[in-house]
Structure 1
Amino acid sequence: MMRGHAFQLHETPVVALAEAALFLPRTQTLIVSDLHFEKGSAFAVKGVMLPPFDTAETLRRLEALLERLSPKVLIALGDSFHDRGAGARLAETDRAKLESLISQTQTIWIEGNHDPEPPAWLAGQRAAEVQHDGLWFRHEPSGQVPGEVAGHLHPCARVTGKRGGSIRRRCFATDGRSLIMPAFGAFTGGLNLFDPAFDGLFQGPVHALMPSGTGPTAKVHAIAAKNLTPSH
């Protein structure tokens, strides 16, 4: 069952999934961005103690998607590991789970600014960017390439209701020509679409595709930029 918002991205049919991943039905490809494995342990090294379960939770969610969709190709859009030492800090159970998951499909690891050199033991293809199914996949958005799919910025959106209440959630950001993916990782924050970092990255009006709910009732809502509000 496909829980998400289907649309055309630069003439390629795609589905923005409620789980903060993208699916290409034509080639049975699953895309996730900014997994940030071992972000919690990176903070612990610096004396900031966070619950050490972020990698396990991210892998659990990824496993659920792979089991449900059985993709032929998995593309990870960079910053899959939070830093160069993250691969060595993985718990044995988490490493075994990751290796098992990527053995089930063709996996492409896009280089990110946090992980320009993924762990040597990691199976799969490595690339700075890749063209696939009429789209260009890279970590940092340029705003210059039609059909570009990128991550890096961890977009989120805020919507204010008629009674003054508001919700803030991670989102996909797209103008139909290019797309910036939400972060998939458990400990990843979000950058509001009104942040100057997004200036110049879209050629047309931007929509936020905002996931809501969980499980069978999960949905993705397309919200026009005029209905979004800045963060306080």
Structure 2
Amino acid sequence: MKLKQIYFYKHNLFLDVSGVLFWPLKKIAIVSDLHLEKSSYFAKKGNFLPPYESFETLKKLSNVLKKKNIRQLILLGDVFHDDHGYERLDKSTKDLFNKIILQYETKFILGNHDKNINIPNLKTFKKLKIDNINLIHQLTQNLSIEITGHYHPKVVLIIQGNKISKSCFIVSGKKIILPAFGKFTGGLNVESNVFEEILDSKRDYYLIDSSKIYHLRKNYKTNNLKLNIVSG
């Protein structure tokens, strides 16, 4: 199953295996943490990564979006790895980026990596609110209902002695945390104390496999991440 439907505070939302969240009633797609031009950022510091990740990430996003009936695209922060990432895009990648943001009504929410970025003809926001849901890069610890990014959550499982790490969505109380969409983004294990401090104890994880999303639940009694597949 490439899409997982959830009911979140009176809204039907769909979690896509790509890492994009779709809000069909509003014709909105939400994606976080592309970290474009991360490779060129590190290259300037003498650390070399494969240089084509920005184009590949944008091509993947374009292919996902064109299969859905959406009108608005919300970029949920850390679209670029630094404030000068847009300037470093090569021509073909910049053309693709501009094509995407012009094809949809695009809203760019600032993240911690690109909080001072300036992109021609694209307005930026610190946060947005649609109906009762706040859209912001990094969640707050207040009682507001939020869709966020920032943490790059991953589930780490041991299967037949092999350690497997997979990106995931987290749904916990009034918060949704999106996975990172970018190619070279790393991730934070959902067992990290960081999540214990910022989220409710009851959490659902939606693990992204190559062609499926698995709904996993924490074992609350032991407080260990003994995950059982609820549905796939």
Normalised to the residue count of structure 2, the TM-score between the two structures is 0.90
* Alpha-carbon distance in structure 2 between the residues aligned to 1:149 and 1:160: 29
- Report the number of matched residues: 223
Partner AA of 2:150 in structure 1: H
Matched residue, 1:180: 177
- 1:221 paired residue among 205, 214, 223: 214
Aligned residues: CA RMSD: 1.8
Consecutive unaligned residues in structure 1, runs of 5 or more: none
Matched residue, 2:230: none
Partner AA of 1:211 in structure 2: I
Matched residue, 2:206: 209
* Alpha-carbon distance in structure 2 between the residues aligned to 1:158 and 1:169: 7
* Alpha-carbon distance in structure 1 between the residues aligned to 2:90 and 2:199: 40
Matched residue, 2:197: 200
Instruction: For 1:115-130, list aligned pairs within 5 A.
Output: 115-121=114-120, 123-130=121-128
Matched residue, 2:100: 101
Q: Cα distance, 1:28 vs. partner? A: 1.0
* Alpha-carbon distance in structure 1 between the residues aligned to 2:173 and 2:134: 14
* Alpha-carbon distance in structure 1 between the residues aligned to 2:142 and 2:7: 18
Q: 1:9 to 1:176 in 2, by over 3 A?
A: farther
* Preserved contact between residue 36 and residue 80 of structure 2 (Cα < 8 Å): yes
- Residue by residue, what CA displacement relative to the aligned partner does 1:1-42 show, whole Å, maximum 9, x if unpaired? x82110112221111110011000110110000111100000
Partner AA of 1:85 in structure 2: H
Partner AA of 1:225 in structure 2: K
Partner AA of 1:185 in structure 2: G
* Alpha-carbon distance in structure 2 between the residues aligned to 1:21 and 1:32: 5
* Alpha-carbon distance in structure 1 between the residues aligned to 2:226 and 2:36: 30
Q: Cα distance, 1:219 vs. partner? A: 1.5
State the secondary structure of the residue aligned to 1:131. Answer: strand
State the secondary structure of the residue aligned to 1:225. Answer: strand
Matched residue, 2:65: 66
Partner AA of 1:228 in structure 2: L
Q: Cα distance, 1:66 vs. partner? A: 1.6
Q: 1:195 to 1:142 in 2, by over 3 A?
A: same
* Alpha-carbon distance in structure 1 between the residues aligned to 2:207 and 2:215: 6
State the secondary structure of the residue aligned to 1:171. Answer: strand
Matched residue, 1:152: 150
Q: Cα distance, 1:205 vs. partner? A: 0.6
* Preserved contact between residue 158 and residue 229 of structure 1 (Cα < 8 Å): no
Over 6 Å off, 4+ runs: none
* Preserved contact between residue 175 and residue 205 of structure 1 (Cα < 8 Å): yes
Partner AA of 1:21 in structure 2: V
Matched residue, 2:86: 87
Q: Cα distance, 1:147 vs. partner? A: 2.1
* Preserved contact between residue 174 and residue 208 of structure 1 (Cα < 8 Å): yes
Q: Cα distance, 1:196 vs. partner? A: 2.0
* Alpha-carbon distance in structure 2 between the residues aligned to 1:28 and 1:7: 16
The structure whose residues are more often strand, as a share, is 2
Consecutive unaligned residues in structure 2, runs of 5 or more: 228-232
* Alpha-carbon distance in structure 2 between the residues aligned to 1:176 and 1:72: 28
* Preserved contact between residue 31 and residue 74 of structure 1 (Cα < 8 Å): yes
* Preserved contact between residue 210 and residue 220 of structure 1 (Cα < 8 Å): yes
* Preserved contact between residue 154 and residue 190 of structure 1 (Cα < 8 Å): yes
State the secondary structure of the residue aligned to 2:26. Answer: coil
Q: Which has the higher contact order (CA 8 A, sep 6+)?
A: 1
- Residue by residue, what CA displacement relative to the aligned partner does 1:45-67 show, whole Å, maximum 9, x if unpaired? 00001110110111011110121
